[in-house]
Structure 1
Amino acid sequence: MATKLNVFQSEWLPKINRFLETQIPADTDEETLAEAMSYSVNAGGKRLRPLFTLAVLSIFDKPITQDVLKAVCALELMHSYSLIHDDLPAMDNDDLRRGKATNHVVYGAGMATLAGDGLQALAFQWLVDNQLPAEVHSELTLELAKAAGPEGMVSGQADDIHFEGTRLSLAGLQKLDKHKTGALIRYAINAGLIIGGISPDDRSDLLAFAESYGAAFQIYDDILDVVGTEQQIGKPVHQDASKNTYPNLLGLAGARAALNQTVKDARQSLTIASQKLGVDTTLLAEFCNYFELKDEQ
């Protein structure tokens, strides 16, 4: 029997993918640059972040127009930019992403850098180049800049580089992951609340869910680097031996325990949100099955 999430994904994934496939070339004035930008965006990602935003709108019964979809897809551009730059020779120097050659392997480091730059700028363009209210434009732009910038994702990436080869405390690792991975996932939920016009006073429990989910996502990724296969995760495994990860800090059993507790915290936040706001959070809860279904490897 299909779950709510299965039905939701079957409706919205094709729409997200179609929008991304058609609109990047339409908004890019150089053929090779457009090709390089599209190469990474359309390489087969899960679209977790835009799906989260749409799921929030769905549970509050808010309409999803083409203008909304454009603003929602902006986050996928930002996420793809971060992956292109993360894979560059000056960063992780990875040759494989999602089972395909990384952007710089195909287009060269210079064009790959520009592809990432273009996607970052285009993300902000899409947030405001639509008919959503001006106050929504303003809040989305501010929150994405904070989530992606030097107090969010970029800060986490900087810590990842700065502390490589050293051993962070658990609190230090949690801070790194909250910025590096969690910030854009938190933004994804927040964007749905902003577009949906949900009062700031009613956002805290869903944002707490997002923060726990982001933490679980990184813990799970750390675990997969130890127990997963290249075919399964689409990139080389056992690459994090010198990095600050949960298995390196807590051992594999400790990392699994941390994952289970973090997913439990995420579910608890949804239960509280459902009770306070009078909405059915089942759809969001089913996103947690991403960890539970695959954790017994």
Structure 2
Amino acid sequence: MPELPEVETVRRTLNQLIKGKKIDHVTVHLARIIQRPDDIKQFEIMLAGHTIVEVERRGKFLRIIMDGLILISHLRMEGRYGLFTSSDPVAKHTHVIFHFNDGTELRYKDVRQFGTMHLFNPGEEFQLPPLSKLGLEPLEESFTLEQFKAVLIGKKTKIKSVLLNQAYVVGIGNIYVDEALFKAGIHPEQSVNSLTDSQFERLHNAIVSTLSESVEAGGSSIKSYVNGQGEMGMFQHQLQVYGRQAQPCENCGSMIEKTIVGGRGTHYCPKCQLYK
């Protein structure tokens, strides 16, 4: 599933591609992608005539702002957007098409069909699912060490499981949790309530730096991720533990190990990330 850096990269690309375009009409080919409203025809009718003002992001969700409507889009496993001309052939698994009045089309393709779209009036999107219960945004100035500690401190759960919970901190999926914990020198199975002040600070800094570095690299193209222009991210070439089991740690030479934490495959260095 695309994580925060990948979704942020898509957001930036979409702003370059569709900002200022006016929707002539919308075609939905797979009803279950549309979660709100329930009536697909209503979804299509509501969007007609609206102009794209800005594309923003909240956690792993795209927030497409229009003049009077907000579209919340989650890419899930393999959802992707692309801009085409109306004469271009429509690829298989293209489920939603936004037809613009300039002859171009924003097409949403999703092989796994897990993606979702929710349509709201402005302001409603933060009061209702899926955005209403999201936690701290790690690349905003408001993500301070104090806030980070306040939402986590005292929990007896394993640190990796807590970081994957979007109700505490948003956008950090499996890849970047492993990478941030390695950078901070913290074992993924260490309980939150055993973390020292120094470990909290190292982890806070590691989350911010890991995500920022990945955003600058265009995200990680693990499996099928590409941005809105079909380009791959390059951060996978900088991964230090994720996907590197049985390979030597770049810091100490120990073999990277893989285990399961909270049902997720987890990579770590047994020497650099001693269990405490």
Q: TM-score band, normalised by the shorter chain? A: under 0.3
TM-score under structure 1 length normalisation? 0.26
User: Which structure: greater helix fraction?
Assistant: 1
User: Which structure: greater strand fraction?
Assistant: 2
Largest Rg, 1 or 2: 2
